[in-house]
DNA sequence: GTGGTCTAGACCACG
DNA sequence: GTGGTCTAGACCACC
């Protein structure tokens, strides 16, 4: 499980953990039944307090993306395809809406904004294609 | 000066103020030499604590988008066209990049992402056209 | 805000807090816009650590039953009638299902179980009617 | 001896074991003098840690529903009819009381609550009738 | 003043 | 060994 924490971003560590794990579940980097790293291991690896990790895991559990097996560990839940799609769609809408609003407020016309968006898409995509 | 504060967004109020004023300077809703509303007036109008406005103004001043004339008030600075464009471009790149990255990580193909972006653009645009 | 904590029940304190506040929101003992007691006050009143209360509040916020106004406090969110009803119905189904299952496993016939249920209902109801 | 373990319910496994065996004794699926499966066998069958089964058996022994014959095994105790009935009644009262209280607190009228209860009863009953 | 975050460390329940 | 809970206390951001 590959996580990167930015201690200077101002974003709480536990939220960074939540977001990244959620992302990996969405993109199936983490699949149903996969075990998450133990609280203590992940805490040691990221050099943060175990409770910080525990807190992140608790929220993921409340979201039902992750399940506890008591005394054993945490595992990725089965997420129904429909629910997954809804979460994805919502996430996407949010971020694209934010982008569109900014473009409009800056007075950038639609096609120009779309071009920049495409450029960004292709750049990132080509860099991260495997 | 027209500002809207969303108390439920989680975004700090002073940042909402900063962003909106910055936006207005960018789009020339506020022009060089225009005077900003006084801290007290704006605070009263938005029903927030004056310190919140004061803080926002300080940041705008640090950004050199605004100048303090002691004893008189705050005024929009002269911003060179080139610098303005660079700020705009950078802002736009940042937000569109973030959107693109999210789309890619969720495995959304380019044209699908573009479609959603356009939809968001048009929705917001039609709602806010004056 | 009236909360009772049972330190000996084995149920985590923060969950007791969550459940009771949720209950009060459901039953409109706490209404939209009402401010929750501050973390520190409630912690002092219940004689627990503020973080325990904070944790409870965080989960309620994640559930969107409660909203933060930064620097001011926490307030009961507007909950759409439909969503409220769904939450209520689910809660009710869960607890009545558990009751029914137990009755069946003990070999209690339906009408006998219903009679006991009615008795319990009336007893509690008459005690707590105002 | 037929037991079902739900790893996702959050209820400790040893408690699930206790409850189900107790249930079977109540309903006379297990009768006086019947031998319980050995700790090892049951643990292997349920694929859980033997200590978990051992712990469950200890509680049943403490409850005097079961007796240890050293070197031989565990056997279902003689339970006086009266005591059995009292245990049953108490269990039933507890769970039905909890259900009634919840219904009342949610403002559900008696007959509506009863209807839902009956529905739950019939659903579960028809599914598990043999 | 408000709530949020993080830490260090203790203790508990479960397997 | 696993995760969960709670505490005490520090520091931060916001209003």
- D129 vs A110, residue with greater confidence: A110
Distances (CA, A) of D31 to C38, D75, D77: 56, 9, 8
Q: Phi and psi (nearest 5°) for D32?
A: -45, 130
Whether any strand F atom is under 7 angstroms from the Cβ of A61: the reply reads yes
Residue with more model confidence, C123 or C91: C123
Q: How far does the CA of A70 sit from the C1' of F1, in Å?
A: 12
* pLDDT of amino acid A9: 84
Q: Residue B8: list chain C partners with CB under 8 A.
A: 67
CA–CA dist A87, B124 (Å, integer): 22
**CA-based torsion, A43, A45, A48, A49: positive or negative:** positive
**pLDDT tens, C61-76?**
998 899 988 888 999 9
B129 confidence band (pLDDT: 50, 70, 90): low
Q: Is the pLDDT of residue B27 over 90?
A: no
Within the 48-67 window of chain A, which residues sit less than 8 Å (CB to CB) from chain D?
67
Domains of chain C, each with CATH number or no CATH: 13-76 (1.10.10.10), 81-128 (no CATH)
Nucleotides of F under 7 A from a protein CB: 1-9, 13-15
Residues 32-51 of chain B in contact with strand F via CB under 7 angstroms: 48-49, 51
Dihedral angle computed from the Cα positions of residues D4, D9, D13 and D14, in that order, rounded to the nearest 10 degrees:
-100
DSSP run (H or E) holding C66: strand C66-69
Taking alpha carbons only, the member of C106, C98, C128, C118 closest to residue D114 is C118
Between D27, D100, D120, which is nearest C124 by CB?
Answer: D100
Task: Look at residue D130 and tell me whether its pLDDT is greater than 60.
Answer: no
Q: Is there contact between A58 and strand F, defined as CB under 7 Å from any strand atom?
A: yes
With bands split at pLDDT 50, 70 and 90, how would you rate the model's confidence at D120? very high
Those residues whose C-beta lies under 8 Å from the C-beta of residue A12, and which sit 6 or more positions away, are none
B42 touches chain C (CB under 8 A): no
**How far does the CA of A107 sit from the C1' of F15, in Å?**
32
pLDDT computed for residue C39 by the predictor: 93
Report H helices in chain A.
Answer: 13-26, 39-46, 50-62, 81-105, 110-128
Taking the CA of residue C65 and the C1' sugar atom of nucleotide E1, their distance in angstroms comes to: 24
The whole-angstrom separation of Cα C109 and Cα D125 is 10
Neighbours of chain D (3+ CB pairs under 8 A): A, C
Give the number of beta-carbon pairs within 8 Å between B and C.
6
pLDDT at A98: 87
Q: How many inter-chain contacts (A to C, CB under 8 Å) are there? A: 5
**Residues in chain A with pLDDT values less than 70:** 129-130
Q: How confident is the model at residue D129 (pLDDT cuts 50, 70, 90)?
A: low
Minimum-distance nucleotide, CA of B14 to C1': F14
How many other CB atoms are there within 10 angstroms of residue C30's CB atom? 20
**Residue A8 touches chain D, beta carbons under 8 Å:** no
Which pLDDT tens digit goes with each residue over D21-69? 988 888 888 888 999 999 999 999 988 899 999 999 999 998 889 998 8
Chain A, nearest residue to C60 by Cα: A62
Torsion of Cα atoms, D66 then D68 then D69 then D71, to 10°: 140
Q: How confident is the model at residue C130 (pLDDT cuts 50, 70, 90)?
A: low
In chain B, residues with a C-beta closer than 8 Å to the C-beta of A103 are 92, 95-96, 121
Q: Which residues of A touch C63 (CB under 8 A)?
A: 62
């Amino acid at each position: 499980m590959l996580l990167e924490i930015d201690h200077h971003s101002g974003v709480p560590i536990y939220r960074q953990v939540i977001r990244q794990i959620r992302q990996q579940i969405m993109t199936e980097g983490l699949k149903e039944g996969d075990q998450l790293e133990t609280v203590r291991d992940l805490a040691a690896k990221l050099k943060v307090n175990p409770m910080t990790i525990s807190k992140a895991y608790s929220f993921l559990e409340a979201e039902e993306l992750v399940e506890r097996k008591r005394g054993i560990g945490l595992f990725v839940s089965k997420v129904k395809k429909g629910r997954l799609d809804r979460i994805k769609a919502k996430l996407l809408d949010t971020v694209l809406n934010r982008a569109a609003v900014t473009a409009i407020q800056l007075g950038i016309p639609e096609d120009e904004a779309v071009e920049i968006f495409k450029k960004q898409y292709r750049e990132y995509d080509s860099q991260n294609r495997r």
